[in-house]
């Protein structure tokens, strides 16, 4: 049997001593961790971290890209993937992290969209290289 006692008792996390922010365990169990792109995961974790008790945050894309070291097209792809997965909504400058969908994620739909975005980026780079020559 695995010993689940804390290693460092003096540093046990306590929700009452910190500000808001959490990620539901079902994020893993419903398949989101497995099927989202690294950029989408990073953006989702950031939005969970900065969200208020209603899941809302108003960081602009420049600040988010700066914090996460993302290019604008990576940010847009990540945001769109999270919207498609029904994890967030976005309007004007406001993000809202949503409660997780009741159904498990349709990995094929999200992964297919991710591959299409990767194909688009590859084509974009080819065209940019052609234009430069």
- 54-108 tens-digit pLDDT: 999 999 999 999 999 999 999 999 999 999 999 999 998 899 999 998 876 665 4
Rounded Cα–Cα distance for residues 95 and 106 (Å): 23
Helix (H) or strand (E) holding 131: helix 107-132
pTM to 2 decimal places: 0.73
pLDDT at 6: 82
Distance of CA 100 to the CA centre of its chain: 13
All domains of the chain in start order, with CATH: 22-132 (1.10.10.10)
Mean pLDDT over the full length of the chain: 83
How confident is residue 14, by pLDDT bands cut at 50, 70 and 90?
confident
Q: What percent of the chain has pLDDT over 70?
A: 73
Residue 7 pLDDT > 80:
yes
- Give the residue, 80 or 114, on which the prediction is more confident: 80
Rounded Cα–Cα distance for residues 124 and 122 (Å): 5
Rounded Cα–Cα distance for residues 17 and 29 (Å): 28
């Amino acid at each position: 049997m695995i010993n689940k006692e804390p290693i460092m008792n003096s540093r046990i996390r306590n929700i009452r001593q910190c500000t808001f922010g959490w990620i539901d365990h079902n994020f893993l169990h419903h398949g989101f961790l497995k099927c989202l792109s690294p950029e989408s995961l990073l953006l989702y974790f950031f939005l969970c971290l900065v969200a208020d008790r209603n899941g809302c945050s108003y960081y602009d894309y420049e600040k988010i890209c700066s914090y996460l070291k993302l290019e604008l097209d990576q940010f847009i792809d990540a945001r769109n993937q999270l919207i498609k997965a029904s994890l967030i909504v976005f309007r004007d400058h406001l993000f809202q992290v949503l409660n997780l969908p009741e159904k498990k994620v349709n990995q094929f739909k999200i992964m297919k969209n991710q591959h299409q975005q990767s194909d688009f980026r590859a084509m974009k780079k080819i065209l940019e290289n052609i234009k430069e020559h």
